[in-house]
Amino acid sequence: MRGGGMGNMQNMMKQMQKMQKKMAEAQEELGKQQIEGTAGGGMVTVIVSGHKEVLEVKINPEAVDPDDVEMLQDLVLAATNDALKKAEELTNNTMGQFTKGMNLPF
């Protein structure tokens, strides 16, 4: 009986190692993803990675009003938050496949 139990445990460990490898690969792929957030009808665009790092900020020259810098700041902030929200959703969708059915508290 004990031998069967050890074999089962070894099988579980192999399954866990496979899952860890797949999770690491998924994390690496997420880092390669580029997610775009926009604000002001495309006047400001922010691109972030799947690891939620800001990669690029694009500002349409028509959006620049020297008399209203606050509006431009608000657009950059809104576009950044939009991109980060989309990156979070991508992360949850990608990494969530590993926790389906595990009944984890989070």
Query: Is the pTM for the entire model greater than 0.75?
Result: no
Tens of pLDDT along 10-26?
A: 888 888 898 888 888 88
Task: Find out whether 24 and 68 touch, Cβ atoms under 8 Å.
Answer: no
Tens of pLDDT along 57-106?
A: 999 988 777 788 888 899 999 999 999 999 999 888 888 877 675 555 55
Structure tokens at 101: 């059915």
In this structure, the strands spanning 34-39 and 44-49 are antiparallel
What is the three-class DSSP state of 60?
A: coil
| Predicted pLDDT at 1 | 46
| Predicted pLDDT at 23 | 87
Sign (positive or negative) of CA dihedral 65, 66, 69, 73: positive
Name the fold adopted by 2-96: Ybab; Chain: A; (3.30.1310)
Q: How far apart are CA 97 and CA 92, in angstroms?
A: 8
